[in-house]
Structure 1
């Protein structure tokens, strides 16, 4: 069971890293295009007036997706160890405490998922769109809800691995 959970976590992390990478590349592309077109406008004193419409909006939603995906991909590396409190504890007990800590992230992911799922259904039902580009908000909320669910799921997997099996917080993938 432990190796099955580790494999599932590995593949979910890989999926989240791909989503985060694509969102970050798109974010950088929009930012570079926006800055370049503004500079070109200034350089040509207004003769070339190309603009990236809705760049602020695009960057904000891409940032949301990249942050949620990155959080879900790296949840097992999230604990800040306070050496003053855990100095005398055995590694096994530290791992089990880490598992309890990750249960909080699992709860956070679930709460975010439920809230974003509710927002997605309401946005889809009412035809809510973004302010500048008039993109439907439903799919944006659904994607954020799925990433929040992955955050909660990976946190739960690592909480089980740490608390039940006493496994290390960071899963080894044979690398």
Structure 2
């Protein structure tokens, strides 16, 4: 019963993270295509049409941050590289439990990132920190990254519990 609830929660969080990563990647591609197109149009018309995507490098970097954090959180259960030299003769349940213990490190990483980014967001809000090109406030960017880091930590913790306590194989139970 408990495993079913945890599996559903993990699956729902993974879906949210995949949607966020997908939206961020599509937006990143749209900014890149628009920037390249307007530069090409400028060269093609020899400067007659001078459209620019202001802050494109900045936009791409923050969208990349969101897409990477969301993708990491969405696929955390597939993160372990199995070293055959250590786990070759072990039973699958033991391998799954070791994977769960390994994921506790990702849960700790997500928590540390979350706390650091929340602190940065509060500092940025207090000092009025803005981005270099677009002059956007930095605190919402830090809060978004903190939320995605928290999702990474929560999903890692759920998957760690499922693997370490119940010996469950993440990829089989999610049907992926």
Instruction: Determine helix, strand or coil for the equivalent of 1:170.
Output: helix
Q: Secondary structure at the match of 1:15?
A: helix
- The residue aligned with 2:117 is 116
Conserved 8 A contact 1:76-1:171: no
What is the distance in 2 between the residues matched to 1:45 and 1:82?
Answer: 57
How far did 1:123 drift? 0.7
Matched, 1:7 2:3: no
Count of paired positions = 175
Q: Within the alignment, does 1:55 sit opposite 2:75 as a pair?
A: no
- Cα distance in structure 1, aligned partners of 2:119 and 2:107: 18
Q: TM-score, normalised by structure 2?
A: 0.97
Instruction: Output one character per residue of 1:43-83: Cα deviation in whole Å (capped at 9) or x when no partner.
Output: 11111110000000000000000000000000001111111
Distance 1:58 1:106 in 2: 28
> C-alpha deviations, 1:87-124, integer Å up to 9, x for none?
01110110000001000000000000000000011111
**How far 1:85 sits from its partner (Å)?**
1.4
- Structure 2: 5+ residue stretches without partners: none
- Structure 1 residue runs of 5 or longer lacking an equivalent are none
**CA distance, structure 2, for counterparts of residue 46 and residue 4 of structure 1:** 60
TM-score by length of 1: 0.97
Q: Shift of the alpha carbon at 1:172?
A: 2.5
Aligned to 1:162: 163
Say which SS state the counterpart of residue 96 (structure 1) adopts.
Answer: helix
Query: What RMSD in Å do the two structures reach over aligned CA positions?
Result: 1.0
Higher helix share: 2
Checking the alignment, whether the CA contact within 8 Å between 1:76 and 1:169 is kept in structure 2 is yes
Are residue 19 (structure 1) and residue 20 (structure 2) matched? yes
